[in-house]
Amino acid sequence: MIHFFQVYKTYPGTIKALANISFKIEKGEFVFVTGPSGAGKTTLLKLIIRAERPDRGEILVNKRNVSRLKNSQIPMLRRTIGFVFQDFKLLNNKTVYDNVALVLRAVGHNKREIPKRVRQVLRVVGLEDWVLRQFPLKLSGGEQQRVAIARALINTPSLILADEPTGNLDPELTVEIMNLLQKVNTLGTTVVVATHNTNLVSQYQKRTIPLYRGKMAA
Amino acid sequence: MAMLTLIRRTFGVMKENGPSHVLSIGTIAVAFFLFAAFLLLPLNFASFLEAWEKKVQIILYLKDGVEEQRILQLKGELQKEEGIREVRYISQRTARESFERDLAGYGGILKGLKEEIFPASFEITMEEHFRTPARIRSLASKLSTIKEAEEVQYGGLWLERFSLFLYILRWSVWILGGVLIIIIISVTANTVRLTLYNKKTEIEILKLVGATDAFVKLPFYLEGGLQGLLGAGGAIVLLLAVFRFFFHKVSPYISLYFGQLRLSFLPPNMIGWILGIGVVSGLLGGLLSLRKAA
């Protein structure tokens, strides 16, 4: 599914974000990328979706070499990946329905099927129809993150990347969201969660890719 | 269908950032109004010049003591001259009578003036095609070589200055046009940039979920083009209103002095060009801001 082979990434100003990173994630796995702030977790996720390009090394995602992907091919790669952010990144001036439907509109999905598909995916993440016409700021943090996960899932991606998805949530909501991600994983989607929360990692007993100052920790 | 969606998205983008769009369309309209007005001026000054040229006459003052027979002969020669339509002889007596008529209000002051102080002259009216500054000047210069001619007068200097003014005005239009296009591009670019800033998160999400570059950027290009079109269109409408006001309320007074003016508005092809320039410079503005920002 994902294969990093001796990947290096340095940002301008010679800040080494990642150095000599190699790992493999199989299809259907649930993996934590762990490490403190500045360890390179977000950079790693950005490399997977080709928001960044590695300086050296190869990255394979769904058998595509993303480090050599042409710019015009990037949208096709991203349509197979769902992304969840710590700060949800919902559009506060749009309703929940529009936030989720935006993805299908962007990829040119059949217009007539969009409402049905949005309702389905909101049910999967445990939200009822009443939230459809609500604006994100009217919802709780946990509900907002559920909407964000619904947005990531709506295009039936084979991979979900979550960057500190519980970073803004209290412990109770954290469990809810993690359970939801697990549920998504059991439905066959590969899930990669980047987190600095060691309690969370120990609680869920999943494979981890530990990073420290841009390197794979022992 | 896709086009309809695109147009709907473009209007959506513009609606969300309404006040700044109204402001920039207004600025573009003002810029285009100046440009279009500068195009309209030489167009109508040319007709003003034409009207004035119709009134232009050459007056050939004769030396004292030219014999009557020679006068008749000269009149005949002048009438045969190329470009001359009519020659009217004004004798010394007629000149004095005309002077007295014109200054009738001064009464007795004019009494006692002898007719010898009024020179006899020929009033020469030219053919229409001959009423250009260059031709009038050349004819006047030729007439001044007549032995009996004391002086040849025509409104030449004024006419030439006016023609020069018209020439400068025509060039100024192009220079001004260039400057205005830069202003329009920069105004549009800044508004589109502002919209881009407001929609930063949306663009980020769209890119992340696999929207193509065209899907993300097209509404912003269209936004720029539409702003240019609306600005230019607004300017044309405004100019038409000003023109109509001038045509109905001001031009009759000017016609009293300079004869019937043939005022005309910008021809359709010129309006088409202005709207086209609006769209293209708006698109360029959008392109410029997207190249830098998205």
Please give the radius of gyration of chain B, using alpha carbons only, rounded to the nearest integer: 31
Which has more confidence, B254 or A31?
A31
State whether the Cα torsion B147-B151-B157-B163 is positive or negative.
negative
Asked if the model's pLDDT at residue A56 lies above 80, the reply is yes
Q: What percent of chain B has a predicted confidence (pLDDT) above 70?
A: 85
The average pLDDT across A137-142 equals 90
What token pair was written down for A140?
């709780």
* Average pLDDT along chain A: 90
Q: Are residues B188 and B118 in the same domain?
A: no
Q: Are residues B181 and B272 in the same domain?
A: yes
Question: What is the C-alpha to C-alpha distance for residues A6 and A24, in angstroms, rounded to an integer?
Answer: 11
Q: Does B201 touch chain A (CB under 8 A)?
A: yes
Amino acid at residue number A171: P
C-alpha distances (whole Å) from A106 to each of A71, B41, B205 are: 17, 49, 10
Q: What percent of chain A has a predicted confidence (pLDDT) above 70?
A: 99
Asked if the model's pLDDT at residue A53 lies above 80, the reply is yes
pLDDT on residue B255: 66
Q: Are residues B224 and B276 in the same domain?
A: yes
CATH (domain of B69): 3.30.70.3040
Partners of A61 in the β-ladder: A2, A64
Q: Are residues B98 and B189 in the same domain?
A: no
* Residue of B13, B204, B205, B212 to mutate when probing chain A, most A C-beta within 10 A: B205
Which among B111, B294, B108, B283 has a CA at the least distance from the CA of B201?
Answer: B294
Partners of B121 in the β-ladder: B61, B90
Pairing of strands B149-153, B57-62: antiparallel
Query: Among residues B124, B154, B184, which one ends one of the domains?
Result: B154
Question: What are the two backbone dihedrals, phi and then psi, of residue B59, each rounded to the nearest 5 degrees?
Answer: -115, 120
pLDDT on residue A162: 93
pLDDT on residue A48: 94
pLDDT tier, B217 (very low <50, low <70, confident <90, very high otherwise): confident
Q: Are residues B146 and B234 in the same domain?
A: no
Q: Do A107 and B207 touch (CB under 8 A)?
A: no
How many angstroms separate the most distant Cα atoms in chain A?
51
What token pair was written down for A150?
């619904």
Q: Are residues B148 and B185 in the same domain?
A: no
C-alpha distances (whole Å) from B111 to each of B90, B119, B120, B142, B269 are: 20, 18, 19, 37, 62
Q: Does B205 touch chain A (CB under 8 A)?
A: yes
Q: pLDDT tens digits, residue range A111-129?
A: 889 999 999 999 988 898 8
pLDDT on residue B259: 59
Q: Does A72 touch chain B (CB under 8 A)?
A: yes
Q: Lowest mean pLDDT: which of B77-81, B88-92, B123-127, B283-287?
A: B283-287
Q: Give the domain range for residue B76.
A: 57-154
DSSP string for A52-115:
S--SEEEEEETTEEGGG--GGGHHHHHTTEEEE-TT----TTS-HHHHHHHHHHHTT--GGGHH
Q: Are residues B120 and B233 in the same domain?
A: no
Q: Are residues B31 and B173 in the same domain?
A: yes
* Average pLDDT along chain B: 80
The average pLDDT across A38-59 equals 92
Q: Does B6 touch chain A (CB under 8 A)?
A: no
Asked if the model's pLDDT at residue A190 lies above 70, the reply is yes
- CB of A204 closer than 8 Å to CB of A31: no
Query: Among residues B102, B129, B154, which one ends one of the domains?
Result: B154
State whether the Cα torsion A106-A109-A115-A120 is positive or negative.
negative
Chain A residues whose CB is inside 8 A of the B16 CB are 93
Asked if the model's pLDDT at residue A34 lies above 70, the reply is yes
Asked if the model's pLDDT at residue A68 lies above 90, the reply is no
Q: Are residues B167 and B41 in the same domain?
A: yes
Asked if the model's pLDDT at residue B207 lies above 90, the reply is no
Q: Are residues B38 and B68 in the same domain?
A: no
Which has more confidence, A8 or B165?
A8
Question: What is the C-alpha to C-alpha distance for residues B258 and B276, in angstroms, rounded to an integer?
Answer: 36
Q: Are residues B243 and B269 in the same domain?
A: yes
Q: Are residues B101 and B194 in the same domain?
A: no
Asked if the model's pLDDT at residue B249 lies above 90, the reply is no
Partners of A15 in the β-ladder: A11
Query: Among residues B154, B173, B201, which one ends one of the domains?
Result: B154
For A26-42, letters b (16+ CB in 10 Å) and e give eeebbbbbbbeeebbbb
Nearest to A91 among B202, B208, B215 (CB): B202
Domain residue extents for chain A: 92-156
- CB of A171 closer than 8 Å to CB of A117: no
Asked if the model's pLDDT at residue B218 lies above 90, the reply is no
Q: pLDDT tens digits, residue range B54-110?
A: 667 888 898 888 888 888 888 898 888 888 888 999 888 888 888 777 776 666 666
Number of domains comprising chain B? 2
The average pLDDT across A135-153 equals 91
Chain B residues whose CB is inside 8 A of the A79 CB are 209-210
pLDDT on residue A61: 93
* ipTM of the complex in this document: 0.84
